C-alpha cells in the first residue's frame, strides 16, 4: 500500500531475455597523428614549427639549383631555363641577323695580331694528287646517346706520301668520339662505316692543289674546307703537316681543331666570328686564318665544339661570304 504523498515508484524496465545493456556512447577518439603532433610540440616547443618551414625552404633551394650533382641527388636532370637545359638543346641554327655574344679574352690569349696566313715551317708535303681516294679500312660502334645518326668513312687522296695514314685515321676518330666533340649532350650520333656507299659524308686527307679544285681559291692561303657537292670533308695535307700559327708548335691540337671544324660544316654549321664568353675561340671560327674579332679581341685557340665550362658553346654562327671576308681581312693585316 502506498502512503499518501509518497513518490510513485516506477517498475524497473524489463529487458528481453538474453539481451545486453546498451553500451555508453564512446568518447570521441583523438586522431593518432594529432596526438603525436601534440607530444612533438610539448617536447620541442617553438622548434616544432620552425623545422617544417626549414624543410620547405631547403626543397625550394634544391629545386632551383644549377648544380648537376645536386640535381642528380634529388632526381632532377634539368630545369626549364637552366644552363643544363640550354646545354642539352639542339645545335643552334645560324641566323645572319643573330646578335653575337660578348667576349673577353682568356688569360693566355695572344694580345697581338697573328701572322696566321703563312704556313709554319716544317717538313715537305704532297701538293698534287689525282683527285681519287682510297678507303682506309675500319669501322666503329655508334658514338653519342641521342639525336640523328651521321655515318662517315675515312679516305686519303691517291698521291699523298710521307703521312702515317693509320695515325691520320686515329686522330680523326679520337677527335670525333671525344665527349667534347659534336656528340656532346646527346644532340647527335656518329659512326664510322667501312665503305663510301654507307657514309653520309667522307673525311678525306687531300693534296693542296686538289683543295683548289674542290673548294676554290678565293683566299690566297692554304686552308681546308667542306665540299657539299661530294659531301666531303677536305683536310688539306699542307695544314695537316704544318699546322697554323694560332696553334704555334702544337700540331696535335691543331689537327683536332681541323677535324672538328670541317666536320662541323658537314653537320650543318656555319662560321663563327666572336669569342665564347670565356675568351676561347669557337671551333667554327676560322682559326687557321686567325682569331681576331671585329672588336679587336684575340680569342684563345680551342679545338673543341663543347669545351668544358662554356655554356654558350659552340657559339653564335653567321652564314654568308660577307662575314667570312670581313674576318679574313682583319686577320690578314
Residues 274-285: tens digit of each pLDDT: 999 999 999 999
- pLDDT of 7: 45
For the cut 90, the answer to whether the pLDDT of residue 193 exceeds it is yes
pLDDT digits over 74-106, tens only? 232 332 222 232 333 333 333 222 222 223 334
Q: Which region among 34-48, 65-79, 244-258 has the lowest average model confidence (pLDDT)?
A: 65-79
pLDDT of residue 70: 32
- Residue 49 corresponds to which cell in the numbers above? 614549427
How do residues 237-284 score in pLDDT, each as one tens digit? 999 999 998 998 899 999 999 999 999 999 999 999 999 999 999 999
Q: Which has more pLDDT, 150 or 56?
A: 150
Q: What is the pLDDT of residue 94?
A: 30
What band does 37 get if pLDDT is binned at 50, 70 and 90? low
Question: Residue with C-alpha cell 616547443?
Answer: 45
- Indicate the pLDDT class of residue 307, thresholds 50, 70 and 90: very high
**Above 50 in pLDDT, residue 161?**
yes
User: For the chain, which domains are there?
Assistant: 33-87 (no CATH), 133-332 (3.40.390)
The pLDDT value recorded for residue 47 is 53
Amino acid at each position: 500500500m502506498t502512503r499518501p504523498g509518497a513518490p510513485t515508484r516506477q517498475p524497473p524496465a524489463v529487458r528481453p531475455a538474453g539481451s545486453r545493456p546498451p553500451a555508453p556512447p564512446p568518447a570521441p577518439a583523438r586522431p593518432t597523428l594529432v596526438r603525436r603532433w601534440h607530444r612533438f610540440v610539448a617536447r620541442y616547443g617553438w622548434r616544432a614549427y620552425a623545422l617544417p618551414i626549414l624543410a620547405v625552404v631547403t626543397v625550394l633551394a634544391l629545386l632551383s639549383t644549377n648544380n648537376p650533382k645536386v640535381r642528380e641527388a634529388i632526381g632532377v636532370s634539368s630545369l626549364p631555363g637552366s644552363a643544363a637545359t640550354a646545354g642539352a638543346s639542339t645545335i643552334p641554327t645560324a641566323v645572319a641577323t643573330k646578335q653575337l655574344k660578348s667576349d673577353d679574352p682568356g688569360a693566355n690569349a695572344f694580345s697581338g695580331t697573328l701572322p696566321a696566313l703563312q704556313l709554319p715551317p716544317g717538313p715537305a708535303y704532297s701538293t698534287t694528287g689525282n683527285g681519287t681516294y682510297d678507303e682506309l679500312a675500319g669501322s666503329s660502334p655508334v658514338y653519342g646517346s641521342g639525336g640523328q645518326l651521321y655515318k662517315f668513312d675515312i679516305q686519303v687522296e691517291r698521291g699523298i706520301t710521307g703521312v702515317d695514314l693509320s695515325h691520320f685515321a686515329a686522330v680523326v676518330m679520337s677527335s670525333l668520339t671525344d665527349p667534347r666533340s659534336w656528340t656532346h649532350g646527346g644532340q647527335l650520333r656518329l659512326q664510322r662505316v667501312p665503305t663510301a656507299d654507307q657514309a653520309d659524308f667522307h673525311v678525306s686527307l687531300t693534296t693542296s692543289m686538289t683543295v683548289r679544285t674542290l673548294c676554290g681559291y678565293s683566299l690566297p692561303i692554304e686552308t681546308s674546307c667542306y665540299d657539299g657537292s661530294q659531301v666531303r670533308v677536305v683536310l688539306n695535307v699542307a695544314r695537316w703537316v704544318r699546322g697554323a700559327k694560332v696553334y704555334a708548335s702544337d700540331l696535335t691540337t691543331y689537327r683536332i681543331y681541323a677535324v672538328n671544324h670541317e666536320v662541323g660544316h658537314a653537320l650543318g654549321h656555319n662560321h663563327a666570328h666572336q669569342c665564347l664568353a670565356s675568351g676561347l675561340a669557337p671551333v667554327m671560327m676560322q682559326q687557321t686564318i686567325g682569331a681576331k674579332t671585329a672588336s679587336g679581341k684575340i680569342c684563345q685557340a680551342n679545338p673543341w665544339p663543347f669545351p668544358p665550362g662554356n655554356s654558350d658553346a659552340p657559339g653564335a654562327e653567321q652564314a654568308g661570304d660577307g662575314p667570312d671576308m670581313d674576318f679574313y681581312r682583319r686577320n690578314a693585316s
